[in-house]
A and B are shown apart, each in its own frame.
Chain A
Amino acid sequence: MKNSSIYKYSTLFKTQYANMLEYRAEIALWAISGVIPFFMLNIWTNNGLNESINISNIMLSRYFLSAFFVRQFSVVWVVFTFEEDALLGRVSPFLIQPLHPFIRYFAQHLAEQITRFPFALLIAIFFFIFNPQSLWIPSILTIIIALISTFFSFLIQFLMQSIIASFCFWTEKASSIEKLLFIPTLFLSGLLAPVSSFPYYVKSWIYLTPFPYLIDLPASILSGNKANIMEGIIVQLLWIILFFSIFKKVWKSGTKKFTAMGL
């Protein structure tokens, strides 16, 4: 029984991977569209803004490169796929299958991340060609911890978006809620500026929200900047548990509401 479910998931993953490989040009473009942290780095160092927050140019460039990587591997778009599937009536057959529809989407995201990896690496190599002094090789342990933290960040975002996606059962156009939620994610997660540079009146409450754990924490771990590693990962886990239980509730009441569309 257990073997058969492993077989099921690995097949699901393989088909999604094959599917994603077909769109590698698209994924490459998508990887390029994530270069915003590098532009921000340029503003920071070019104007000497980092002097007063005590992060050297090299550490800051490592931070932004790590932020780029973390962002690349925590991009989530489940709400857009689910909305399209719901509007076109593709959700109905998914609901009948003995597999939670979101496991399918989850496999899709993982497959996309693996397809994306070489492109992200290529961009990083270009980055090092232009900034050779910021080259560093983190220890294996750091890489593993950063990977775990990045995966947790991905899980938090995936669950948050899945909750929003479940609202599709009520409103049809849930993606606009996601666009709203994306704004604080963009500005508070540390993608555009490290959280340590935030003014005190924001720092005092920001750690009560999930946002700094999305990019700032894993990026700081990977780049070797100051971070509360143990504490951060535990908080990430707490958010995952919270969002997972909310998602289960919303999904349960949503499927009861479900009216098939399209066909």
Chain B
Amino acid sequence: MEIWNKKVYCYGFMNIKKYLQVYSYFNYSSFSIELEYKINLFIDLLTSILGLIGSVFLLSIFFSNTDKIGGWDFNQALIIQGIYTILNGVTNTWFNPNLKEIVKYIREGTLDYVLLKPIDSQFWISFKRISPTGLIEILLGFFVLSYCFYLNNISFTIWSLNLLIITLICSISILYSLWFLISTTTIWFVKTWNATEVLRSFLYMGRFPMDSFSFSLRIFFSTVIPITFITTIPSEVLLGLSPAWKIILEILVSMTFLIFSRRFWKYALKFYTSASS
């Protein structure tokens, strides 16, 4: 017991091995919770497939009236659908189930227990739960994406693959930061569940190329809510349309978001007053 205590309480410096082990326990426990509802898994799979069909249907309506939307043709716009599906899967796997919990932690005052644990609170809160249904969506997204490779005759190089992975990681970081920032405000407002709904409906527009919107909306979507960086730039990278400055800008934006969300969480914790129990 004593040895175990020593092992756990050696914080002060990041013990990656410890965190990885804790993370595998998290996964184990949430998988066993989720697998209790097996039919749900199937229904969620159906939902994500239907969602994809629906938005391809919407795209086909757009393209039945014109050849190009904002300079993108149908096959190119399909890449954005693929990227969006992957990112939506990531959101549903990691961000959504956890951030739903944050609201509960703060409302019920159980955040106390998290803060008392000898582990980083942001790590605990962001990675406690995992929902396997989103994983299927990620697979679906990659499937669509590889079909798009065939449609658009994209020649694959190690270089472009690396760039895609880098931009995708950046997109995921921005997404994570956005979700985490909104959830952090729960500490002041307690009920921010609907704020995440607003974010979700804005993010939904990431299904379409940003060039198809009017100028003012494009400005809005690249500054206030950086959807441009989330889906459009990775797709442009795949098509080889993206200049280097855009990629560098995306990396900078994602770093800023990550650092800011971390700082904001630390700052918000100063205002945390436990709920009654």
A contacts, CB < 8 Å to B: 23, 25-27, 29-30, 32-36, 39, 42-43, 46-53, 171-173, 176-177, 179-180, 183-184, 186-187, 192-193, 197-199, 202
Contacts and interface: CB of A to CB of B under 8 A. Distances in A.
21 contacts: A23-B191, A25-B191, A29-B194, A29-B197, A30-B194, A33-B197, A36-B204, A39-B217, A46-B70, A46-B213, A47-B66, A47-B212, A48-B66, A49-B69, A172-B37, A176-B43, A177-B43, A184-B50, A187-B58, A199-B64, A202-B57
Contacts of B214: 42, 46
A73 to B, nearest CB: 17
Contact of A34 (B51, B61, B69, B201): B201
A35 B200 CA distance: 11
B217 A187 contact: no
B118 interface: no
Interface of B is mostly: helix
A27 B197 CA distance: 11
Given A29-B195, A43-B208, A46-B214, 5 more contacts: A25-B191, A29-B198, A39-B205, A176-B47, A187-B54
Nearest to A183: B50
A197 B194 CA distance: 32
8 A-B pairs closest in CB distance: A187-B54, A29-B194, A33-B197, A33-B201, A183-B50, A33-B198, A52-B65, A49-B65
A42 B69 CA distance: 12
Given A26-B194, A32-B198, A42 B64 contact: no
Given A47-B69, A47-B212, A180 B50 contact: yes
A186 B54 contact: yes
* Interface hub of A53, A171, A187 (most chain B Cβ within 10 A): A187
Given A26-B193, A42-B214, A183-B51, A192 B58 contact: yes
Contacts of A48: 66
A30 B197 contact: yes
A53 B198 contact: no
B217 A42 contact: yes
A42 B211 CA distance: 11
Interface of A is mostly: helix
Interface residues of B, number: 37
B30 to A, nearest CB: 15
Contacts of A183: 47, 50-51, 54
A42 B214 CA distance: 7
A147 to B, nearest CB: 25
A23 B191 CA distance: 9
B40 interface: yes
B209 to A, nearest CB: 10
B92 to A, nearest CB: 11
Nearest to A46: B214
B143 interface: no
A254 to B, nearest CB: 17
B214 to A, nearest CB: 5
B152 interface: no
Contacts of A36: 201, 204-205
A193 B47 contact: no
A184 B54 CA distance: 7
A176 B54 contact: no
B101 interface: no
A150 B205 CA distance: 26
B62 interface: yes
A52 B65 CA distance: 6
B120 to A, nearest CB: 30
B39 interface: yes
A43 to B, nearest CB: 5
B50 A33 contact: no
B42 to A, nearest CB: 9
Given A176-B40, A176-B47, A46 B212 contact: yes
B46 interface: yes
A261 to B, nearest CB: 15
Interface in B40-86: 40, 43-44, 46-47, 50-51, 54-55, 57-58, 60-62, 64-66, 69-70
Contacts of B205: 36, 39
Contact of B201 (A35, A46, A172): A35
B64 to A, nearest CB: 6
A172 B65 CA distance: 45
Contacts of A46: 70, 212-214
